[in-house]
Structure formats: structure tokens, C-alpha cells
Amino acid sequence: MKMPERMLLLSVGLVIWILGTIYYAYAGRRVLETTPAQYWVSFAISPIISAALCILILRWRHIAPSNWAVAMLLLAIPGMIGEAIVLSNLRTFMPRIQEASGGRYGAFLLATYAVVLGIAEFVTLRSLR
């Protein structure tokens, strides 16, 4: 993968993180501070939607399956760094959600990154056989 493609994936990852953070800053209460059933449905759906979006991006950019792990990391790294800052300063960046919801938000993020990066690793390893 060439440097311009890497920079584009990092940039797209940054944009996705910004949009996702804005969404959760305004709508996080409806997702995180709800009934247990609604929370777990959202918890299951969020990684699937995120993975589908990332897969569409990799297909749009015609990223070879052997490069999916690297490409997904490039998409994920801006969000992982950004979310570390957000979670460390939840009151500042997400004043509409309760501090106690920070753990739930972190769990959403961890599950989402695990699914997205796990799929990418699976595709990459399978392509190298």
C-alpha cells in the first residue's frame, strides 16, 4: 500500500471518529442510558454497522485482502487515540451523558474495535494461505 493510500485511510478514520464522537455526544444517552434490552441490542448492532462501513471503505479503495489488517489499523488508530482522550475527559467532551456511562461507552468502543480488527486479521490471514 502506497503512502497516499495510507494517509487517506488515516484521514477517513479521523473523520469517522469525529462524526461518531459527535453522534455519541448528542445521542449517547439514548444508547447508553436506556433499558438493558435496548442497550444490548445497540451493543450488538454497533460493531456490525462499524465493520460493514469499514469493509465498504476497503472495497471502495480496492485494498487487497492481504492488506486488510494494516488498512483497518489505519482506519482505527485515529479513533483509538481520540477515544482515549475522550474517555479520560468524558465530562468535557460528552457532557450530556453521565460519568457512570463512560464504562458502557468504553465497552461499545472495545467491542467495535475488536470486531473490526478481528475481521480484518481473519481476511488477511486467509488471503496469505
pLDDT digits (tens, 9 = 90+) for 24-83: 999 989 889 999 999 999 999 999 999 999 999 999 999 999 999 999 999 999 999 999
Tell the residue number behind the cell numbers 481476511, with chain if given: 123
Whether residue 28 contacts residue 105, with contact meaning beta carbons closer than 8 Å, is answered with yes
Residue 41 contacts residue 104 (beta carbons within 8 Å): no
Provide the CA 67 distance to its chain's centre, in angstroms: 18
Q: Cα separation of 126 and 60, whole Å?
A: 20
The pTM score is 0.90
Please tell me the distance from the alpha carbon of residue 96 to that of residue 90, in angstroms, as a whole number.
10
Chain centroid to CA 28: how far?
A: 15
**Domain boundary assignment for the chain:** 3-127
